[in-house]
Structure 1
Amino acid sequence: MTREAFYENIIRYIAHQAALPPGWSCQSSDNLFDLGVLESFDLPGLVAHIERMLDKRADLAARQIEVFYTIDSMYEAFVDAKGASCAP
């Protein structure tokens, strides 16, 4: 999955879950917690969404909450070239 496709998919998911106005967007490097669009209670749903999107289980054993701060960090943790963070 490309970085752009991942970004668009995560933006749509967050906008829907947080009931944000149509056309809402942010930078892929913006801290989603600081923007107020993501909080810790949202993480189980977000992880499940990422797993469905990638058709892989997310390996969370070695992950810190910081992975979910930005869309860039999520992409790097769960999609980036090595794919070490997701298991089939």
Structure 2
Amino acid sequence: MKSRVNLTIEESLLSKAKCYAAENQVSVSELVEDYFKQLTKPKRKSNIFEMVKQLDIKEKFTDIQDFKKAYYEDNAAKYGF
């Protein structure tokens, strides 16, 4: 269900937004809605170790230290450190 909302925006900014919307063949309402969707979307975890925890992998690590140790040992073997 869609709802109406009133926004107060500087005229010059609204003019630019309308031009942008016209060039991209969308409405200003669609621009605002898309922005709100991006704004309220859950943030992805940027920590690589947290992301790895979520992967379905053969070898399960009991904690993050096990993963870090394996990571560094693997790189040491690859690069001869």
TM over 0.5: no
Which structure has more helix as a fraction of its residues?
2
**Rg larger in 1 or in 2?**
2
Q: Which of the pair has the greater relative contact order for Cα pairs under 8 Å at 6+ separation?
A: 1
* Greater strand share, structure number: 1
TM-score interval (norm. to shorter): under 0.3
TM-score by length of 2: 0.24
